[in-house]
Structure 1
């Protein structure tokens, strides 16, 4: 399941999820979830609490602020959420230029993979 949202000023404290997404969950509503920024090759997972208010609206709450700060999510950024069904969301971030946002982690992960691959190749007997 996928959906998108646009960061608004009030989104930095907690993120409202679309009503139609909540309906698709049926009775399988998670109490907690994990978030992963799509371009992050290191696959860091962020623990985020899920809360429901009295009108059954679903929010990403405790832990969301840390995710917002870590990826410098700003007003006007476009976020695409992909839910895997196991209480994990992959989040793809587009900035105000409408292009995918690149993070240092993205490059670090690629360089780290190349580093370990080169070590493995050096240690492999001929």
Structure 2
């Protein structure tokens, strides 16, 4: 499942999850989710607490601020969350120009993949 959100003033401290996403969980109430920057399976996983409020709202809370700071998420940024069904989200970040943001850790992970692949090819007998 995918959904999007726009960073607003109050979403820098905690991020509300859409009601339809929470319904999709079908009564399962995970205490934590893991976030990562999309298209980069080797980058850091961020542990984020999930809070189920008494008013029926569900939030990404403790750990969300650190994710916001690490990726310099600013007011007006557009985020696409992709849920993998295993308490993990891959997050795509688009800035105010509506272009996808590139991060250094994505480039580092790509280089590591290339290095590992080339090492494996060099060790494989022909």
Distance 1:13 1:100 in 2: 22
Q: How many residues align?
A: 126
- Where structure 1 has 5 or more consecutive residues not aligned to the other structure, the ranges are none
Partner of 1:17: 17
Change (3 A) 1:84 1:118: closer
- Where structure 2 has 5 or more consecutive residues not aligned to the other structure, the ranges are none
Partner of 1:61: 61
Change (3 A) 1:123 1:95: same
Change (3 A) 1:125 1:25: closer
TM-score by length of 2: 0.90
Deviations along 1:80-107, one digit per CA (max 9) or x if unpaired, are 1111221111111111111111101111
RMSD: 1.5
Distance 1:118 1:2 in 2: 34
Distance 2:81 2:45 in 1: 14
Distance 2:125 2:21 in 1: 52
Partner of 1:117, secondary structure, is helix
Q: CA deviation at 1:31?
A: 1.1
Distance 1:85 1:115 in 2: 30
TM-score by length of 1: 0.90
Distance 2:18 2:30 in 1: 15
Partner of 1:115: 115
Distance 1:114 1:77 in 2: 31
Matches within 5 A, 1:87-126: 87-125=87-125
Change (3 A) 1:24 1:118: closer
Distance 2:122 2:23 in 1: 53
Partner of 2:107, secondary structure, is helix
